[in-house]
Amino acid sequence: MSNAESLQSEYLKLNPISLIVAEEIIQRVSEIKEHLTNSFECILMPILSRIDKIKSEKYIL
């Protein structure tokens, strides 16, 4: 087997594995992105709510 054939054989073995790993990475990144979005809203919304409450109390005074 020549070097080119050997490299092509190795590439064909590794390529499906690379695709599986890439799909797993894409899935994990999507999960992390979704988690960060949800966490961001959970953290930010109470703060914004409190700021709105303070503003309304300030206008009342």
Question: Quick one: which H or E segment has residue 23?
Answer: helix 3-60
Has residue 52 got a pLDDT over 80?
yes
Q: Cα separation of 12 and 31, whole Å?
A: 29
Q: Are 9 and 1 in contact (CB under 8 A)?
A: yes
Has residue 60 got a pLDDT over 70?
no
User: What rounded mean pLDDT belongs to the chain?
Assistant: 79
Q: How much of the chain, in percent, has pLDDT values that exceed 90?
A: 0
Question: Quick one: which H or E segment has residue 21?
Answer: helix 3-60
Residue 11's pLDDT band, with cuts at 50, 70 and 90, is confident
Find the mean pLDDT for residues 9-26: 76
Q: Cα separation of 22 and 54, whole Å?
A: 48
